[in-house]
Copies of this chain bind each other. A is one copy, B any other.
């Protein structure tokens, strides 16, 4: 059984947020560790030709309804930010800036951004908000704001995004158990079962 799960998500993906509330606990039950990998859905949409759900005719109304219904089903608070969707550059860059040296802090920051965005409906793409959420975690907010504007951090996110697409990631959330891909929050039960049984 693989001991590592990779969790790809976009910071402005409601289904990514909902999956983020369950995945660590689920993995822990099976003795697995989750690597969180934020990426940007924008380039994936460019490849698939899809548009953000709420902007897609017919699907938009269903998606809005289903975001809320899915949240209720798992007992999660859910609120859509006013401006939605947006490209979540700042939190994604901040995440990878922290990730190599302080992966636990990176994850805690990611959770704080998701909560601010989908519990409070704040604009989680705003660098100032990300910096503000970082402070209580012992992260220097000025350093964060500077870091996410450096070429090295920008390039890191681009590289992560390229890797995601090379691996076939086209939606959020997208989970790998070893090489086995699972797309969607509604596939977490299958991930659970895969971890339990080793596959089918």
- Given the complex, which residues of B lie within 8 Å of A187, measured CB to CB? 186
Known contacts: A72-B200, A186-B184, A186-B187. The answer to whether A57 contacts B62 by CB under 8 A is: no
- CB-CB contacts of A172-200 with B at 8 A, as 1s and 0s? 00000000010110110110010000001
Return the chain B residue nearest A70 by Cβ: B190
Bound state CA distance, A59 and B28, in angstroms?
A: 29
Contact B56 A49 (CB under 8 A): yes
* A156 in the interface (beta carbon within 8 A): no
* A146 in the interface (beta carbon within 8 A): no
State which residues 31-59 of A face B: CB under 8 Å.
Answer: 44, 47-51, 56-59
- CB-CB contacts of A70-82 with B at 8 A, as 1s and 0s? 0011000000000
Q: Which one of B48, B62, B69, B200 lies within 8 Å of A59 (CB-CB)?
A: B48
* A61 in the interface (beta carbon within 8 A): yes
Return the chain B residue nearest A170 by Cβ: B58
Q: Which one of B44, B49, B58, B181 lies within 8 Å of A44 (CB-CB)?
A: B58
* A87 in the interface (beta carbon within 8 A): no
Contact B186 A73 (CB under 8 A): no
Bound state CA distance, A58 and B190, in angstroms?
A: 21
State which residues 128-173 of A face B: CB under 8 Å.
Answer: 165, 168-171
Bound state CA distance, A62 and B171, in angstroms?
A: 11
Contact B50 A50 (CB under 8 A): yes
Return the chain B residue nearest A50 by Cβ: B50
A residues contacting B by CB (< 8 A) are: 44, 47-51, 56-59, 61-62, 65-66, 69, 72-73, 165, 168-171, 181, 183-184, 186-187, 189-190, 193, 200
